[in-house]
A and B are shown apart, each in its own frame.
Chain A
Amino acid sequence: MKAFKFIAIVGLIATVGISCSTERATAVQNKAGVQLWGENCVRCHNTPSPASFNDADWSTIEMHMKVRANLTATESQKIFEFIRSAN
């Protein structure tokens, strides 16, 4: 169990080191809403079509999902701007 914990901690530190960089941060900031929509919904359930709800309902769902799925403010804003624009 100690060996497992050691490997897990080292692995996590290595993952943090590899995944964090200024270039990646800029790439994430420049992501479009459609890309974030494709990446985030599917983490728990199938991705809904923008036509599944009207704009007013999407506004309520946006707040619900931001809290429930712990989306960042930027993700939430971009995803639901895309959905409303495509609806």
Chain B
Amino acid sequence: MKKLLVLLAIIVSVGTTYGQEKSKESRFMVRGYGSASYISLDSADEHDSGSSFNMGTFAPIFLFKASDKLMFEAELEFEYEHGEFEIMLEYANLSYILNDYMTVRAGKFILPFGTFGERLHPSWINKLASMPLGFGHGAVSPSSGVGAEVRGAFDFKGSKINYALYATNGPKLKTDAHGAGMLEFGLTDDNNKNKAIGGRLGYLPFSDSSLELGFSFMNATVGDAHTDYEDTKANLFAYDLSYVKKINPLGGVIDIKAQYNQSTVDDRTYEIHDENDVPSDLVINDNKSTAYYAQLSYKPTMSNNDFIKNLEFVGRMSKVETPDASPETSDLESTTFGINYWLSWRSAIKVNYQLIDGIGGHGAVDDKVFTIQWVIGL
């Protein structure tokens, strides 16, 4: 109840302030990004092996600057994959700049849980064609949420601090035979009265902003109301690191990104039903899931050769691990190498080779994936 009152106070405060301000400028923009790719998969399971062109994704972003302080933004994602066409609302929210140090957002927004989801996931920014393991939709990483948030940044004696603090409807605990014990993110409806509380604190110690260290957290009650699971709690946290620097002796820019996510859900016994609707108990204790990635890229920006100057070399390791007792148990590792050729500052051809091995939801995984992807920021 207290959380709701605080949220209400913020919304009333913003509304009152905005009502007293005359609009000075109003602009509407449609931007976005899209991609198309060719994928060749060599899998341990021969049925999965093969190659195909993918229509990829198209994600228009709508920006409406209503005044110097008020903005609306939304992103849709159109995706056609494996014969299915999907439209998803990535986010749709209002931002109001309260002062130099604080902005309030409300609506559906990408959660500042680490930096990959919020800043790096668009295909024209993501340096590889794939996401790190565990960082896609419905994985170990919270994607988006519906709620309200305050965020901002300020200088601190030559370094810089940024922050975000939010309350959202929160994730939902899956209890069915396919996903018992796992969390579902990005829902628009609330499955209980509890609101998830989360945030991120970022610290940029150096005056050139080359290094950023971040810590994120989220706490929520995740079980459906009026069920045996309604008191189930989840605690999540993440560490992230970014280091981007032009290194003269190397003749270019190196970019290091890393993030570690951990999600812990209370111990529970789940009543699940098999395909013949026969019930059984599934005990999941020590329900901890983790995902991490570390990525290094190098762009020889100081080369005198225009072709070489536009190349980028990328390497990434990632790993995801979920509890052994979970129906979606996985213990997968991935190593990916990539070469990108930048056609412009926002358009590239990516050539990737990815190795994935370990235990997936349906058994052993030993995949080799070759991808060519064309991406464009619009």
Task: Mark A residues whose CB is within 8 Å of B.
Answer: 12, 15-16, 18-25, 27-29, 39-40, 42-49, 52, 56-57, 59-61, 63-64, 66-75
Is A46 touching B158 in the complex (CB atoms < 8 A)? no
Nearest 7 A/B pairs, CB to CB:
A24-B158, A73-B100, A70-B162, A20-B157, A19-B205, A46-B345, A60-B27
Q: Complex: how many Å from CA A30 to CA B154?
A: 15
Main DSSP-derived SS at the B contact region: strand
What is the distance, in angstroms, from A39's C-beta to the closest C-beta of chain B? 5
Encoded as 1 (CB less than 8 Å from any A CB) or 0, chain B from 323 to 338 comes to 0000000000000000
Is B202 interfacial (CB 8 A cutoff)? yes
Is B342 touching A23 in the complex (CB atoms < 8 A)? no
- Chain A residue numbers with a CB within 8 Å of B267 are none
Determine the residue in chain B with the shortest Cβ distance to A69: B119
Is A20 touching B25 in the complex (CB atoms < 8 A)? no
Is A28 touching B151 in the complex (CB atoms < 8 A)? no
Tell me which of B119, B152, B346 contacts A68 (CB under 8 A). B119
Determine the residue in chain B with the shortest Cβ distance to A70: B162
Is B289 interfacial (CB 8 A cutoff)? no
Binds A, one of B39-47, B189-197, B206-214: B206-214
Is B63 interfacial (CB 8 A cutoff)? yes
For chain B, the count of residues having a C-beta within 8 Å of the partner chain is 52
Is A68 touching B118 in the complex (CB atoms < 8 A)? yes
- Chain A residue numbers with a CB within 8 Å of B76 are none
Contacts A/B (CB < 8 Å), 30 sampled = A12-B213, A16-B203, A18-B205, A20-B157, A21-B157, A24-B159, A27-B207, A28-B155, A28-B207, A39-B208, A39-B209, A40-B209, A43-B212, A45-B346, A59-B25, A59-B27, A60-B27, A60-B28, A60-B29, A60-B64, A60-B65, A61-B63, A66-B103, A67-B97, A67-B105, A70-B151, A71-B153, A72-B155, A73-B101, A74-B155
Determine the residue in chain A with the shortest Cβ distance to B65: A60
Q: Complex: how many Å from CA A37 to CA B73?
A: 23
- Chain B residue numbers with a CB within 8 Å of A23 are 158
What is the distance, in angstroms, from B375's C-beta to the closest C-beta of chain A? 11
Is A44 touching B119 in the complex (CB atoms < 8 A)? yes
**Contacts A43-B212, A45-B124, A67-B103 hold; do A52 and B25 have CB atoms under 8 A apart?**
no
- Chain A residue numbers with a CB within 8 Å of B212 are 43
What is the distance, in angstroms, from A47's C-beta to the closest C-beta of chain B? 7
Please report which residues of chain B, range 275-322, place their CB below 8 angstroms from some CB of chain A when the two chains form the complex.
none
Encoded as 1 (CB less than 8 Å from any A CB) or 0, chain B from 140 to 163 comes to 000000000001111111111011
Is B164 interfacial (CB 8 A cutoff)? yes
Is B154 touching A72 in the complex (CB atoms < 8 A)? yes
- Chain A residue numbers with a CB within 8 Å of B155 are 25, 28-29, 72, 74
Is B272 interfacial (CB 8 A cutoff)? no
Is B71 interfacial (CB 8 A cutoff)? yes
Tell me which of B124, B153, B205, B244 contacts A70 (CB under 8 A). B153
Q: Complex: how many Å from CA A79 to CA B345?
A: 18
Is B213 touching A48 in the complex (CB atoms < 8 A)? no
What is the distance, in angstroms, from A2's C-beta to the closest C-beta of chain B? 16
Is B359 interfacial (CB 8 A cutoff)? no
Is B71 touching A67 in the complex (CB atoms < 8 A)? yes
Is B345 touching A47 in the complex (CB atoms < 8 A)? yes
Tell me which of A21, A43, A52, A69 contacts B345 (CB under 8 A). A52
- Chain A residue numbers with a CB within 8 Å of B207 are 19, 24, 27-28
Determine the residue in chain A with the shortest Cβ distance to B70: A63
What is the distance, in angstroms, from B35's C-beta to the closest C-beta of chain A? 15
Is A70 touching B202 in the complex (CB atoms < 8 A)? yes
Question: Which of B65, B158, B162, B377 gathers most chain A CB within 10 Å?
Answer: B158
